[in-house]
Structure 1
Amino acid sequence: MISAEYCRLMARYNTWQNASLVTAADRLTNEDRWKDRGAFFRSIAATLNHLYWADALILERQKGNERPEATIKHSLTDPTDWEAFKALRSRRNAEIEEWSARLVDADLNGMLVWYPGDGSTRIEKPKTLVAIQLFNHQTHHRGQVHAMLTAAGAEPGPTDIHLLA
């Protein structure tokens, strides 16, 4: 279905696109980043926080952690400080790239098992599907942030993957 090389490409794309959004959001005030813009998570900052925390959860599942929500708490409001968010986002990007750099195709074989936060239901999915979800989820929400930034007058860079250096 997918390969380790695909994951490395998408990890690089993730870093590139997050940098574009952060650079554009740097041009806004903190109030503008938190302004309710009618998106699913309401604001640019809340949507970026969701992505940050969701990346952590999905990546932990990829690493075999069956109960990542026991230690990783999803938050739309944390961090509130923009500089802190940028540092955390940069580290998460690096973590995703490091994970993908260590992958070999065989690592994507088999199933992953995890339990959601309430621990009630055992979920079992193919490792490839969970890897695809990591990258697809990022792209989905970055598109929302891109639209909100554009509407706010900021100018994120292009999103076409063939422009990735």
Structure 2
Amino acid sequence: MKQIFLTHAKYLQDKDKKIVALLDTLSNEYREKDRGGYYKSLSELFRHIAGAQGIFLGVLQSSLPADYKAKSLSLPDAKTLPEGVLTETQWKEIKTFSEKAGQALVDILNSLSDGDLKIQTKWFTGDMVPLSFVLSQLLVHTVHHQGAISQILDEMKIDNDFTAISARFL
């Protein structure tokens, strides 16, 4: 199971890099334009993806026993991310955060065993769930919002392949 999660984490990293590369071709004003969705702009939607990854990573890491290698990994802090309409400098901060979060997820997964995915942790509702559930929700959440970015770009008539299934990242 660990290998499946690791493959998905690398896939998400690849998609995030492609999304960033495409969004970087847009002017800051165009990227920040309110598109009418809950997260308004493309960059705010991407910020939400990155921030949620940071939050999920914190849940994963805090659930591990003290002697685990992943316990000492430096994680990006979602509380440091800027909100609202972004400047070009703030957009760069989001991109850097996303890169760090994507790599941290891969690093955490590399340090875990299949058995570790059964470790119980407290979910946001207070329920106890296995780490595999936290990981699955992180993956589903990220893919969902990557798809929303793709849909917005489609509506804007901007070619993208974020929902295409690719194995090149392997």
TM-score range, shorter chain: 0.7 to 0.9
Contact 2:150 2:163 in 1 (8 A): no
Residue number in structure 1 paired with 2:108: 99
The residue correspondences of 1:60-99 to structure 2 (distance < 5 A) are: 60-64=58-62, 72-73=78-79, 76-77=83-84, 80=87, 81-99=90-108
Measured in 2, the distance between the counterparts of 1:133 and 1:79 equals 27
Deviations 1:43-85 (A, max 9, x none): 111111111111111111112259xxxx743764386422222
Which residue of 1 is the match for residue 126 of structure 2?
Answer: 122
| SS of aligned partner of 2:110 | helix
SS of equivalent residue, structure 2 residue 62: coil
Q: Distance in 2 between matches of 1:8 and 1:110?
A: 17
Q: Which piece of structure 1 moves more, 152-161 or 3-12?
A: 152-161
Q: Does residue 163 of the first structure (1) align with residue 164 of the second (2)?
A: no
- Give distance in 2, aligned partners of 1:62 and 1:87: 21
Is 1:52 the counterpart of 2:50 in the alignment? Answer: yes
1:35 correspondence with 2:33: yes
Q: TM-score, normalised by structure 2?
A: 0.79
The CA distance in 1 between the partners of 2:39 and 2:24, in whole Å, is: 19
Note if contact 2:150-2:162 (Cα within 8 Å) is conserved in structure 1.
Answer: no
Corresponding residue of 1:137: 141
Structure 1 unaligned residues grouped into runs of 5+: none
Structure 2 unaligned regions, length at least 5 = 65-76
| Cα distance between partner residues in 2 of 1:83 and 1:128 | 31
Q: Distance in 1 between matches of 2:129 and 2:161?
A: 34
**Cα distance in 2, alignment partners of residues 108 and 61 from structure 1:** 13
Q: Which structure is richer in relative contact order (CA contacts within 8 A, separation 6 or more)? A: 1
Identical aligned residues as a percent: 24
How far, CA to CA, are the matches of 1:161 and 1:107 in structure 2?
29
1:150 matched residue in structure 2: 154
Structure 2 counterpart of 1:63, which letter?
Answer: Q
8 A Cα contact 1:49 1:79, kept in partner: no
Contact kept in structure 2, 1:23 and 1:156, CA below 8 Å: no
Cα distance in 1 for partners of 2:30, 2:154 equals 12
| Matched-pair contact (CA < 8 Å) for 2:10–2:106 | yes
Given candidates 10, 22, 25, the residue that maps to 1:24 is: 22
Aligned residues: 154
Shift of 1:101: 1.4
In the alignment, the residues of structure 2 paired with residue 158 and residue 127 of structure 1 have an alpha-carbon distance, to the nearest angstrom, of: 27
